[in-house]
Amino acid sequence: MNEELTIRKAQSAVNEWILTYGVRYFSELTNMAILTEEVGEVARIIARKYGDQSFKNGEVGDNLGDELADVLWVLICLANQTGVDLTEAFHKNMEKKTRRDEHRHLNNDKLFS
């Protein structure tokens, strides 16, 4: 896929893949457990690559992008199966954050030290 991918197109692509290859969506509870597992895999890489832990012998640490894409995939699955339009939800969330935090971070001295 070389075209620019919007959130809406990603939701559609995941749904099409599920209908073509996946038989059906896993249950919401199963996908929540899978999401937690995938976030844990991202955390493992971050802790070893950017934190104080080191990689174990034979452990590969160059797949952060793939693990983040796994998180995105399952998040999109959950949105699709619960009827959430992530594009709309994202725009509303950005508006909320802007209203709530318009000056909060700019006035946080800890961020400038």
* CATH code at position 39: 1.10.287.1080
Query: How far is the C-alpha of 94 from the C-alpha of 97, rounded, in Å?
Result: 5
Asked if the structure places residue 37 within a domain, the reply is yes
Asked if the structure places residue 36 within a domain, the reply is yes
Q: Which residues touch 10 (CB under 8 Å, ≥6 apart)?
A: 72, 76, 86
Contact (Cβ atoms closer than 8 angstroms) between residue 76 and residue 101? no
Question: Could you report the per-residue pLDDT of 40-55, keeping only the tens digit for each?
Answer: 999 999 999 999 999 9
| Count of domains observed in the chain | 1
For the full predicted model, state whether its pTM sits above 0.95. Answer: no
Asked if the structure places residue 112 within a domain, the reply is no
Asked if the structure places residue 95 within a domain, the reply is no
- Domain residues for the domain of 35 are 7-85
Asked if the structure places residue 107 within a domain, the reply is no
Question: Could you report the per-residue pLDDT of 45-84, keeping only the tens digit for each?
Answer: 999 999 999 998 888 778 999 999 999 999 999 999 999 9
Q: What are φ and ψ of residue 30, in 5° steps?
A: -65, -45
Query: How far is the C-alpha of 4 from the C-alpha of 32, rounded, in Å?
Result: 28
Query: How far is the C-alpha of 65 from the C-alpha of 45, rounded, in Å?
Result: 10
* Residue 1's pLDDT band (cuts 50, 70, 90): low
